[in-house]
Amino acid sequence: MSVRIVLVDDQDLVRAGLRALLTHDPDLAVVGEASDGASGVTLVRRLRPDVVLMDVRMPGVDGVEATTRITSDENLTGTKVVMLTTFDTDEHLFDALRAGASGFLLKDIRPGPLRDAVRTVAAGEALLAPSVTRRVIEAAAAGAPPGTDTRLEALTGREREVLAEVGTGRSNDEVAATLYLSPATVRTYVSRLLAKLDARDRAQLVVLAYETGLVRRSQPRSRT
């Protein structure tokens, strides 16, 4: 079954380029396009695609607001949003992640990594590996004072440890190796964290780890 994709970008050339790249492989299908956020939301509600590639900056309803409308729609829980941006330091990207986006891509991404990224998000993972994602989150969340957020009070000590590792961008296998757990056990902990913290996906867990001060700017990570 093909991954069904909707493109939302106000530039015709960008949409045409993405469409050409994404229809190269038979397991990917662009099922719709929109040139602004408002019409994009309407289209997504009608088509219910697996993945939406959403431009951050658009006139009228921008990508952040459109993402909020999509991720808050109970009928679109299976739809994942990936933000598209020209700048890796775009200050709106953190707001988009908080709104429920599963990650973001630069518009100059190469064809192979673009297709792989769409498949990754469609499979339920978040696009958190690039170091630029860490810079975006750190820049927006660095000012959050530790110890003032109560969202972690319901977590056990082990759940906090897992969240801290997830917050640094580590995969389940990396978390398992660090905490001496099995990957299956880590997946169970991640599922509990999503439920307890009312987080849409792994990307929101990363944001929350920074916002609550559980992960700080000086904390190391295992990959770039």
For the chain, what are the domain ranges?
3-127, 139-211
Mean of pLDDT values over 7-25: 92
Two tokens, residue 48? 């219910």
pLDDT value, residue 182: 94
- Cα 132 from Cα 88, distance rounded (Å): 6
pLDDT value, residue 123: 86
pLDDT value, residue 221: 45
Nearest Cα to 56, choosing from 13, 92, 102?
92
Predicted confidence (pLDDT) per residue in 190-206, tens digit: 999 999 998 888 888 88
Alpha-carbon separation of residue 100 from 7, 110, 161, 173, 220 (angstroms)? 17, 25, 23, 24, 25
* CB-neighbour burial class of residue 163 (10 A; exposed 0-12, middle 13-18, buried 19+): buried
Residue 143 pLDDT > 80: no
pLDDT-derived band of residue 220, with 50, 70 and 90 as boundaries?
A: very low
Which fold, 139-211? Arc Repressor Mutant, subunit A (1.10.10)
Which fold, 3-127? Rossmann fold (3.40.50)
* CB-neighbour burial class of residue 73 (10 A; exposed 0-12, middle 13-18, buried 19+): middle
Q: What is the mean pLDDT of the chain?
A: 84
Report the amino acid identity of residue 151.
R
Q: Strand 80-85 vs strand 51-55: parallel, antiparallel, or unpaired?
A: parallel
- E-strand ranges in the chain read 3-8, 28-34, 51-55, 80-85, 104-106
Report the amino acid identity of residue 81.
V
Separation of CA 195 from chain center: 17
- Cα 127 from Cα 84, distance rounded (Å): 12
Among 70-74, 116-120, 146-150, 170-174, the range scoring the smallest mean pLDDT is: 146-150
Predicted confidence (pLDDT) per residue in 18-57, tens digit: 999 998 889 999 999 999 999 999 999 999 999 999 999 8
Among 18-32, 61-75, 97-111, 202-216, the range scoring the smallest mean pLDDT is: 202-216
Two tokens, residue 54? 């959403």
* Largest pairwise CA distance in the chain: 50
Mean of pLDDT values over 180-196: 93
How many CA atoms, within 13 angstroms, populate the side-chain half-sphere of residue 179? 25
pLDDT-derived band of residue 144, with 50, 70 and 90 as boundaries?
A: low
Please report, rounded to a whole number, the percentage of residues in the chain having pLDDT higher than 90.
49
Among 76-80, 102-106, 144-148, 165-169, the range scoring the smallest mean pLDDT is: 144-148
Neighbouring C-beta atoms of residue 121, cutoff 10 Å: 26
Angle at 74 between CA 69 and CA 76, to 5 degrees: 70
Could you tell me which residue, 17 or 96, shows the higher pLDDT? 17
pTM confidence score:
0.77
